[in-house]
Structure 1
């Protein structure tokens, strides 16, 4: 590849990278904030949270506080507590608060 052709390919590559970064940052700032928070959470072992389970009458059943990641799907909520024990919650009303 000649020097002139190499510079052209390099310039196009740099412009492409700048374009991708600009597009990814052009979304709403709350989305960006959520992505950054998720990245920090993944790298540091979670966020400081309180997870509380209530019965359907509003009475507290149990609460956990610590630094962990919480995963939710249609059937359950689960996380590994600070003692590395998996907590799986099925049913009830789960409130997941960031401290």
Structure 2
């Protein structure tokens, strides 16, 4: 009887945890990592607000802890951007 009660509690915790936004974000991150990224658009702006470059494709994005470096691969080529404003949107 104790095993059934413990199993029910664990199942309830798993169901409730899967309903949270943080769990959904973590699942999207995991799927992205195993499938080669998400379809995204990245726009790079200068400090004046001028559009410098625009990228579109299926990629993952990594940023530095200081916010001055963004790194991703597009079409097999590595793109590293330093000290610019980068806006990444999921398509």
Q: If the TM-score is normalised by the length of the shorter chain, which range does it land in?
A: 0.7 to 0.9
User: How much has 1:27 moved relative to structure 2?
Assistant: 7.1
- Structure with bigger strand share is 2
**Which 5+ residue runs of structure 2 have no aligned equivalent?**
none
1:59-80 per-residue CA deviation (whole Å, 9 max, x = no partner) reads 1000100000000112300011
**Which 5+ residue runs of structure 1 have no aligned equivalent?**
1-7
- Structure with bigger helix share is 1
Greater radius of gyration (CA): 1
CA contact (8 A) 1:47 1:67 kept: yes
Q: Give the TM-score normalised by structure 2.
A: 0.78
Query: What is the root-mean-square deviation of aligned Cα atoms in Å?
Result: 2.6
Q: Give the TM-score normalised by structure 1.
A: 0.73
1:19 is paired with a residue of what secondary structure? helix
